[in-house]
Structure 1
Amino acid sequence: MTRKLGFISILLFIIYAVGMYYYIFHGNSGGIPDVLKGTVADPETFMTERELLLSEEYSKIKNFIFFVATPLEWVLYIFILLTGLSRIFEKWADFGVKWKVFKNGAYVFLLYLFTALAFYPLDFYRYYLSKNYGINTQNFSSWMRDYVIDFWINFGTTLIIVIVLYWLIQKSVKRWWIYAWLLTIPFAIFMMYIQPIVIDPLYNDFYPLKDKELEEKIISLAERANIPSDHVFEVNMAEKTNALNAYVTGIGENSRIVLWDTTLNSLTDEEILFIMAHEMGHYVEKHIYIGIALYIVSMLVGLWLIAKLMPWLISRFGTVLKINKMKDIHSLPLLLLIVSFLLFFSNPISNYISRYQETRADHYAMQLMNNPEAAVSTFQNLSKSGLSEVNPPLLVKLFRFSHPPMLERINKVAEFLEEEQ
């Protein structure tokens, strides 16, 4: 039965990977509708022939990696369970310490290290790919430094969650998911609060905007939007990437709007002000707080599903997966498998909500700025800098795009002008 389940898992993954390969590399791409060819939305009007070629190649490779990476993670978790590696890690973690919390912590470290090493070649290839296509400018030592920081931050977060989760399962097999959900609320808010001041500075330097003339323009724009302007920062990203970006982060007094220095160096003041107006739209419409509320609801649904699915899978396949009880720490790969599965298939929903919010922020920026030329040129420059697909295939849009494709964003400018006339 073990071999059969392993064989079926690998076979299904191969069939899926081949199917996705043909869909992405040989299927019908998004393309440009005939009615929009030659307009400002057509990448042929603002990208060179080489940029168009690189954009198509880079996007297809990235999309394929995305669609096979998560199912490959599922195969890895199944492998760890079927081969008994999870039970072996549990034995290695039992180094004579009586306190179970330390044994569980050691197990989590062994499992996390194993999975990190297993996926390192893919992570490195992503780095190599973005560097080869001129997106990433980071040298290997700097990338490895960030990779190690990522490892320890993610491990630390995972460790806290797993230790608390399995303690709750030990205390209440039936109601653990409710207690876990209640704890996720303050934990999520705490993480969002410390993100800008504790975690982000581990990777880059953040400082108030240096360009005082531009700062005055931003202050004036913020006053028109009734937004505090002392939370605008720039970050030194030029040593790591050629891409352009800006974002809103943090909550409460730690909330801030962050501009990459690549954005400041590459765009005109009017284009930067449009981006700032877009980020102000997120601020005004409370998208961060809406995001927290949606996260809380999704966690409730997700934990409830885990509480239903995991016991059923153990009762049905526990012998094959070498899991006796849900409360045993060696069941963690199964829990992670379910979480990964739920997250992957919830992507279309979360991305749809995100695209809606981004559209709202774009509309707010166009109303505040009333500068359609700046809006169009900003979207064009964002596409060029990241070699982005302006109109991706449907599955790619559903599963990958948290922002509307650039074709849609540029079209929204035209629709906005029609509304205003």
Structure 2
Amino acid sequence: MRRGLTLSVIIYFIYGLFFYWYLFMSNDIAIPEAYKGTAADPETFMNARELMLTEEYSNIKNFLYFVLIPFEWFIFFVFLIVGGSKWLQKASTTATSVSFIQTGLYFFWLSLLVNVISFPVEWLSYQISLSYNISTQATGDWINDQIIDFFVNFLLMWIMMAVLYTLIRKFKKRWWLYAWLLSVPFSLFLMFIQPVILDPLYNEFYPLQDKELEKKILSYAEQANIPADHVYEVDMSEKTNALNAYVTGIGDNSRIVLWDTTLEQLTEDEILFIMAHEIGHYVMHHIYIGIAGYLVLSFVGLYLIYRLMNLIVDRWGSYFKVTEVSDLSSLPLFLLLLGMLSFISSPAENYVSRFQEKSADMYAIEMTDNPEAAVMSFQELSRAGLSEVHPPALVKFFKYSHPTLLERINYIGETEEE
């Protein structure tokens, strides 16, 4: 156990040291010489202070992202090898004979442990966002969101883990397949209820107050056959200075949403371009392509987890204090493997997403016939969120679900020239 702990700490330290060196010491994020002085050059639309803050904030944010990704895996790994998972399973099964309640008790305390250990880093991230004027959220409101997050995630995961371990106990060789089949309707259900039940837990939504703008956006939506009678405005200025807009939900629960920060900081033409972009996703059925991609990845992922869990428990079960895959004590191992496989698959998911985002940009250009507004909106997105125009390669590879702002401004500029 001591060797395992020592080795894991060393590996984690080297991993963090690498990304510190990569982000703060070795990377030159200056844009290529060919783009100097163009609309994609941040020096043409940011002042010296904004350029400095963007570089500082982006490096810190990216470093925290890469360091926090394996932090939760590290917690699960340590919890397993010190016997915490075995002890928590015993406590849960002693408290009640009802397996559904056992899973709930086990997962509640495991979630609470992870959240308590992670809280200082989450707090640091929040304070950094405040210091760079990205977040505007009051401390009490931020804590309230964390509590809502905890209980929403706990309740959803409790249901999923209870069903999962029931399947593992009943179908030792096919549980992964049945879990995958059940995940499909459950995911669609969550997508259906998200706009009307989950999102309002965090923010207040109300019909867009600018009726002339709403009329123009709804005319775009009508062309795209989006079943929407209203455009919704959400009060995000109490939480952030960043900008966003989106189309969410499926079927009759589809909603077109604008952040109030977007309304305050962008011109009408820029807002119309952004909304046309979001409508483009709907028109090109990107949400359904995303669902199909999720089905493929989750099918492969659950099968790999099934194989890996059997292998690990058979060979190193005594090391991790796990006797059977069907034991609740194996849950941290399941979550550890799920997190690792999700991270490994993220570059492929991001690549497909970047292609879709470019397609939506092109759709919006065609619909609005206003490439200048598109370029201006991207520049304002960069300035408001202190976002890098030309991020380091590994950051783009693992984090960016959108093309970089350099790429977006550049290909829209090329469209304008044509």
Q: Which amino acid in structure 2 is aligned with residue 315 of structure 1?
A: D
- Aligned-residue sequence identity (percent) comes to 53
The CA distance in 1 between the partners of 2:369 and 2:60, in whole Å, is: 37
The CA distance in 1 between the partners of 2:383 and 2:93, in whole Å, is: 53
The CA distance in 1 between the partners of 2:220 and 2:276, in whole Å, is: 8
Q: Which amino acid in structure 1 is aligned with residue 333 of structure 2?
A: L
Q: Give deviations 1:372-420, integer Å, cap 9, x for gaps.
A: 11011000000000000111011000111111111000001122234xx
Residues 270-289 of structure 1 aligned to structure 2 (within 5 Å): 270-289=269-288
Greater CA deviation, 227-236 or 188-197? 227-236
The equivalent residue for 1:235 is 234
Name the SS of the counterpart of 2:206 in structure 1.
strand
The CA distance in 1 between the partners of 2:368 and 2:231, in whole Å, is: 18
Shift of 1:95: 4.0
The equivalent residue for 1:342 is 341
Q: Which amino acid in structure 1 is aligned with residue 407 of structure 2?
A: E
The CA distance in 2 between the partners of 1:343 and 1:29, in whole Å, is: 29
Q: Which amino acid in structure 1 is aligned with residue 145 of structure 2?
A: D
Contact 1:30 1:394 in 2 (8 A): no
Question: What RMSD in Å do the two structures reach over aligned CA positions?
Answer: 1.2
User: Within the alignment, does 1:137 sit opposite 2:136 as a pair?
Assistant: yes
Aligned residues: 418
Q: Give deviations 1:189-247, integer Å, cap 9, x for gaps.
A: 00000000000001111122110111222233334445445252111101111000011
Unmatched tracts of structure 1, length 5 or more? none
Contact 1:29 1:392 in 2 (8 A): no
The equivalent residue for 1:106 is 105
User: Within the alignment, does 1:152 sit opposite 2:161 as a pair?
Assistant: no
What's the TM-score, normalizing by structure 2? 0.98
Q: Give deviations 1:165-197, integer Å, cap 9, x for gaps.
A: 000000011000010000000000000000000
The equivalent residue for 1:120 is 119
The CA distance in 1 between the partners of 2:198 and 2:28, in whole Å, is: 38
The CA distance in 1 between the partners of 2:247 and 2:351, in whole Å, is: 19
The CA distance in 1 between the partners of 2:153 and 2:386, in whole Å, is: 29
The equivalent residue for 1:363 is 362
Q: Which amino acid in structure 2 is aligned with residue 297 of structure 1?
A: V
Greater CA deviation, 397-406 or 221-230? 221-230
The CA distance in 2 between the partners of 1:222 and 1:257, in whole Å, is: 9
Shift of 1:74: 1.6
The CA distance in 1 between the partners of 2:89 and 2:225, in whole Å, is: 56
Contact 1:234 1:258 in 2 (8 A): yes
Q: Which amino acid in structure 2 is aligned with residue 289 of structure 1?
A: Y
Shift of 1:89: 1.2
The equivalent residue for 1:412 is 411
Contact 2:234 2:257 in 1 (8 A): yes
The CA distance in 2 between the partners of 1:231 and 1:188, in whole Å, is: 25
Name the SS of the counterpart of 2:232 in structure 1.
strand
The CA distance in 1 between the partners of 2:409 and 2:288, in whole Å, is: 27
The CA distance in 2 between the partners of 1:220 and 1:159, in whole Å, is: 42
Shift of 1:77: 0.9
Unmatched tracts of structure 2, length 5 or more? none
The equivalent residue for 1:388 is 387
Q: Give deviations 1:344-387, integer Å, cap 9, x for gaps.
A: 11111111111111111000000111111101100000000000
Runs of 4+ more than 6 Å apart: none
Contact 1:194 1:250 in 2 (8 A): yes
The equivalent residue for 1:19 is 18
Q: Which amino acid in structure 2 is aligned with residue 417 of structure 1?
A: E
Name the SS of the counterpart of 1:148 in structure 2.
helix
The equivalent residue for 1:196 is 195
Shift of 1:28: 2.2
Contact 2:104 2:162 in 1 (8 A): yes
The CA distance in 1 between the partners of 2:360 and 2:103, in whole Å, is: 44
The equivalent residue for 1:62 is 61
Name the SS of the counterpart of 1:94 in structure 2.
helix
The CA distance in 2 between the partners of 1:172 and 1:253, in whole Å, is: 37
Contact 1:218 1:229 in 2 (8 A): no
Q: Which amino acid in structure 2 is aligned with residue 84 of structure 1?
A: G
The equivalent residue for 1:317 is 316
Name the SS of the counterpart of 2:403 in structure 1.
coil
Name the SS of the counterpart of 1:22 in structure 2.
helix
Contact 2:228 2:254 in 1 (8 A): no
The CA distance in 2 between the partners of 1:231 and 1:310, in whole Å, is: 48
1:249/1:219 Cα in 2 relative to 1: closer, same or farther (>3 Å)? closer
Contact 1:231 1:255 in 2 (8 A): no
Q: Which amino acid in structure 1 is aligned with residue 210 of structure 2?
A: D
Q: Which amino acid in structure 2 is aligned with residue 104 of structure 1?
A: T
The CA distance in 1 between the partners of 2:34 and 2:296, in whole Å, is: 41
The equivalent residue for 1:401 is 400
1:63/1:98 Cα in 2 relative to 1: closer, same or farther (>3 Å)? same
Contact 1:209 1:232 in 2 (8 A): yes
The CA distance in 2 between the partners of 1:350 and 1:402, in whole Å, is: 8
The CA distance in 2 between the partners of 1:120 and 1:343, in whole Å, is: 22
1:224/1:99 Cα in 2 relative to 1: closer, same or farther (>3 Å)? closer
Name the SS of the counterpart of 1:248 in structure 2.
strand
User: Within the alignment, does 1:35 sit opposite 2:43 as a pair?
Assistant: no
The CA distance in 2 between the partners of 1:161 and 1:296, in whole Å, is: 16
Name the SS of the counterpart of 2:87 in structure 1.
helix
The CA distance in 1 between the partners of 2:22 and 2:382, in whole Å, is: 23
The equivalent residue for 1:257 is 256
Shift of 1:103: 1.6
What's the TM-score, normalizing by structure 1? 0.97
The equivalent residue for 1:218 is 217
Q: Which amino acid in structure 1 is aligned with residue 366 of structure 2?
A: Q
Q: Give deviations 1:55-99, integer Å, cap 9, x for gaps.
A: 100000111111111212221111101111111211222344221
Name the SS of the counterpart of 1:354 in structure 2.
helix
1:100/1:229 Cα in 2 relative to 1: closer, same or farther (>3 Å)? closer
